[in-house]
Every structure is written in C-alpha cells, then in structure tokens.
Amino acid sequence: MMKTRLIAVVSFLTIVGGLFAAPANHEPITELKDLRAEEAVFTDASRTKPIVLKSLKNGAKYFDEEELAAISKTVDFEKQIVLLFAWKGSGQDRLQYVVKESFPEQIMFSYKPGRTRDLRPHLKVYVLQSNVKWAVE
C-alpha cells in the first residue's frame, strides 16, 4: 500500500514538474562555435552588419551540408534567428555583446579592434530568440 502511494506521488511530481519546467534554451543569445563558413560570408557580412538567417534555406549560401546539419540541431527557426558576423582583421579583434535587462531583452554588440597587423578571418555565429532586439554600436 505504501509503495503504491509512493509511486503515485513520484509520478504526480514528475508530471507536474514537467509542466512547469523552463524551456531547454530560454537564453536570449547563444554562440555557436567551431563552424566553418564559405568565403561568400566574408563579402556579405561585416563586423558591424551581420547576415540575418531566418531559415536554414538562407544559410545554404554560407555553409556546407555538414555545417547546416549542425545548425539545424541547435536552432529552431520558428522561435530563433541566426546572426553571422564575418570580417578579416587583426588576430586580436574582439566582438562582444551585453544583454540589457528588459523584456524582451536587448543585446548590444560592440567591436574592439586589435593592435596586431596580422590579417585573420573572424566568424561569429549567434543564435537569438526572435523577439530579442539587437544592435551594433
């Protein structure tokens, strides 16, 4: 009898806990790392003007099938967008962001140039919730 009640309580808590659990990816921004892009991304994007992907089909110009498969596992294009920042510059160049606390969240990107004269390709891929406001300073 006691075992039956215990099983019922655990089952109930599991079901109720699942109803009120937070979504798996509720962060306003996530960075995708270790992606390789086609050379076209460097002509269409910059450090201040990213490419905005609203569907996987839009990314076919910039990524091969393997990379697109990795993106499709991570991104839900019904609820999220992808920003592609790409440029060539100093190896010390940095692109940073700050999330401002509001609803919907606001994300401000800022670029900090490096001091070295080595020319390196930079690719930053960010996944944002579609209702998030973003801008580049």
Helix residue ranges per DSSP H, the chain: 2-19, 40-44, 65-74
| pLDDT interval class at 10 (50, 70, 90) | very low
Q: Is the pLDDT of residue 13 over 70?
A: no
- Quickly count: other Cβ atoms within 10 Å of residue 81's Cβ: 19
Residues of the chain with pLDDT > 90, as a percent, come to 74
pLDDT score of 15: 52
Whether 61 maps to a domain, the answer reads yes
pLDDT digits (tens, 9 = 90+) for 78-130: 999 999 999 999 999 999 999 998 788 899 999 999 999 999 999 999 999 99
Domain that residue 101 falls in: 27-136
Higher pLDDT, 66 or 1: 66
Kindly state the tokens that stand for 25. 């990816």
The answer to whether residue 12 is domain-embedded is: no
Share of the chain above pLDDT 70, in %: 81
So what's the pLDDT on residue 20?
A: 39
Cβ atoms < 10 Å from Cβ of 52: 13
Structure tokens at 47: 């450090």
Whether the ω angle into residue 50 lies within 30 degrees of 0, i.e. cis, is: no
Instruction: Give the chain's domain count.
Output: 1
**Full-model pTM:** 0.78
User: What is the Cα–Cα distance from 90 to 11, expressed in whole angstroms?
Assistant: 57
